Structure 1
Amino acid sequence: MMTKLSILMYLKNMIAKTLLPNMYTHMQYPTSISKTLGLETIDIGAGTATIEIKTSIELHGNQQGTVHGGLISELADAAIGTAHSTYMAEGESFTTIELKINFYRPVFGGLLTAKARPLQKGKNISHYFCEITNTEGKTIAIATSTVMTLYDERAKGR
């Protein structure tokens, strides 16, 4: 018998490695982009998410020899999207309508951790804050995002 879980409970089981083959949720986790890039959700709560990636210049470097800012932006977007998805019920979806990121120090590889939380949760529009830290726990970037929740027909196919 299949057991449908809320996204929050599904992700909690995924992190704890207690997902059973019969457990599922209405959104796809882990996401394809997370699998491709090696993003790992390590903590989850209602409206919060912590995601990590192990980076190296050989895989994630730009022409200056640092980790590409686009990868760091994707890490923030993934953490924010995962955090917001914990609020989604069947027939609901969401889309990012704005993402802003400020970079504070270069990254030459190592573990990056993104922690996202809501600044304001609304019925249609929500605002998020995400801090990205390096292996030493120093802030390397701060991102903010505006997310729009979609309902019924607007949520289909997303």
Structure 2
Amino acid sequence: MPDFPKSMGVTLTSGSPECIVGTLTVEPHHANRNGVMHGGAIMAFADALGGSAAAINLEEGQSTTTLESKTNFLRPIAIGETATARCEALHRGRRTTIWQTTVLREDGKPAAIVIQTQMTLAPAP
């Protein structure tokens, strides 16, 4: 996993080419002015899992980048809670992959659903 998600506190707990699961304990620096997890932090958490899921599906020399990301925010996540995100493949093609990440609160209720498209980049000549 890249340094940015590590610096946020993202931990991968399981992974396969079809599904990656990770956790993040919400700290005060992840919060918005309302005292709950900032939407941008939720999106970054989901993007870290989507990028990691896409990366483990790459062939030697390929890389990946996010083309599109859409987030539905459903419920707040309080400071001190550990959020769990489950990122599952919706499509795994040669040029693009599509991932759905569900971010869950500690009570098991979904806080956000993120769908993102990852592009597979060919090795530089």
TM range (shorter): over 0.9
In structure 1, list runs of 5 or more residues that go unmatched. Answer: 1-29
Aligned length: 124
The residue correspondences of 1:99-138 to structure 2 (distance < 5 A) are 99-109=69-79, 110-138=81-109
Q: Secondary structure at the match of 2:124?
A: helix
In structure 2, list runs of 5 or more residues that go unmatched. Answer: none
Query: Contact 2:69/2:117 (CA < 8 Å) preserved in 1?
Result: yes
TM-score, normalising length: structure 2: 0.93
**Which consecutive segments of 4 or more residues in structure 1 shift more than 3 A?**
none
> Which amino acid is the alignment partner of residue 36 of structure 1?
S
Structure ranking higher on relative contact order (CA contacts 8 Å, 6+ apart): 2
Residue equivalent to 2:12 = 41
Q: Secondary structure at the match of 1:152?
A: coil
Q: Secondary structure at the match of 1:153?
A: coil
> Which amino acid is the alignment partner of residue 122 of structure 1?
G
The structure whose residues are more often helix, as a share, is 1
Larger radius of gyration: 1
The structure whose residues are more often strand, as a share, is 2
Residue equivalent to 1:89 = 59
Query: Contact 1:48/1:84 (CA < 8 Å) preserved in 2?
Result: no
Query: Contact 2:70/2:114 (CA < 8 Å) preserved in 1?
Result: yes
> Which amino acid is the alignment partner of residue 29 of structure 2?
L
Give the drift of 1:89. 2.2
Give the drift of 1:59. 2.3
TM-score, normalising length: structure 1: 0.75
